[in-house]
Amino acid sequence: MSFLSPQDLRGLFDQLCSEYEYLSDNRSKLEADCNKLREYIEAQVTQIKQLNQDFEKLKQEFAQRGAELPPRQTAPVAQVPPQSQSAQQIQYSGEQGQQQPQEEPPEQDWELITLAEKIQKPVIIALLAEIVDISVICSTAFSPDGTCLAIGSDKTLRVYNIDKDDFLLQHTIGDNDEEGTTNHVRSISWTADSQKIVCGGEDGHIRVFELPNGEMTQNFEAGNGEVFQVQISASGTFFAAVTGDGCLTLISMTDFSRLAVMTRQMPENSQPIVATSLAVSNDDKKIVVGYSDKVIALWDAETKACLVEKECHKDGVYAVKFLPNGKMVSASLDSTVKIWNIIEENGQTKLELWKELDGHTNFVLSLAVDPSGTWLLSGSKDLSARLSNVETGEMIYSIKAHTNSIITVAFNPSGLMFCTGSGDQSVKIWSITPEETEDAA
């Protein structure tokens, strides 16, 4: 049996002492770290308790003030024909969008600016009604009979009867969407008999509704990516849709089958493009499409051929319309509105710039043309809607009534009414009536 020598024992003892000191130091450091962590946690708990108290106070204040929605001002309507009850304000509240009419409209809070020195056909513009939603207004469309206004917002399609001041339809889009996701109704189009609505959504689906029962009869995917615009043809035999994958798709109104899918020929390794807007000509022969890469393409609806493809703006094209006089108009993120001649000669089609309207100071997001082809309405991120004379190619009036971008505009088929829909979660309905002049008298 062997024993450690005193020297070995002393060495072992010194080693154990060193290890003990090391462990003791580590323990002290850990205790200090634990104390700091404990203090931090206690501070966080105190802060959370304070936040909970503040939140409870806010809940109580909100409950007390919940019924006191901030008043939205409407303009006194003067020098216009007698109005229906739609001159009052309609507010949505809650998930179901209940109506809350205000009986006494407050003072005017909108501004009408005359931009031209001489006006060939002056008009009187007045605010008839305001509809307040609970999300951004993305699309609007008047029914062909002029009695209703369809409104698209986040996960919701509503149809408002103008004369009755009532909602014929309030449908929630995408009931199974995850909480926190959006599904904006990007575009709306009516059938000629005002009995059906086709709408395109952010979720890439096209939905068809029947009125007056509000039944959704179709729900299908249009392509890849969200549906930016839909339009039913004048004949009612098909409708066109453009999607985030750059496709123009023609779909039968009879059985909702795909009739054709048209895409531009792009160079290899080029950036993806989005088809943002479209318009179908009144004779159903041509379809114009605006794209995110500054290009406008004119398609033959019968042969499905691309007639002309041209870079027309300095930034993405966000709205296109055909004019009754045969011209075409486009609006862009470059802040301009352009009117184009469509020239056909020697079997070739060309787009020739006729007028550039550069009065907007930010993105131009929407266009509408009145039925007579006299007025062109444009909505912009600069918070204004502008009325331009189509004949002269001149901006005449600027309307400032919204506190956020004007995303959608539409004319009533009567030509005596139009609407503006905004990111401020409101739709404003306006009257537009010819002003009596000495020459007219």
Residues 6+ apart with CB under 8 A from 153: 133, 134, 135, 136, 137, 138, 184, 185, 425
Q: DSSP states of 303-349 as a string?
A: T--EEEEEE-SSS-EEEEEE-TTS-EEEEETTS-EEEEEEEEETTEE
SS3 of 89, please?
strand
- What is the pLDDT tens value at each position of the chain, 441 positions in all? 455 555 665 666 667 667 667 777 777 777 787 777 777 777 777 767 766 666 566 555 544 444 333 333 333 332 333 343 334 455 544 344 445 545 555 567 899 999 988 888 899 999 999 999 999 999 999 999 999 999 999 999 999 999 999 999 999 987 555 667 899 999 999 999 999 999 999 999 999 999 999 999 999 999 889 999 999 999 999 999 999 999 999 999 999 999 999 999 998 888 899 999 999 999 999 999 999 999 999 999 999 999 999 999 999 999 999 999 999 999 999 999 999 999 999 889 999 999 999 999 999 999 999 999 999 999 999 999 999 999 999 999 999 999 999 999 999 999 999 999 999 999 999 999 998 765 544
Residues 171, 276: Cα–Cα separation, whole Å: 25
Instruction: Name the pTM for this structure.
Output: 0.76
Q: What are phi and psi of 337, to 5 degrees?
A: -115, 130
Output the DSSP codes for 340-397: EEEEEETTEEEEEEEEEE---SS-EEEEEE-TTS-EEEEEETTSEEEEEETTTTEEEE
- Is the C-alpha dihedral spanning 308, 313, 317, 320 positive or negative? negative
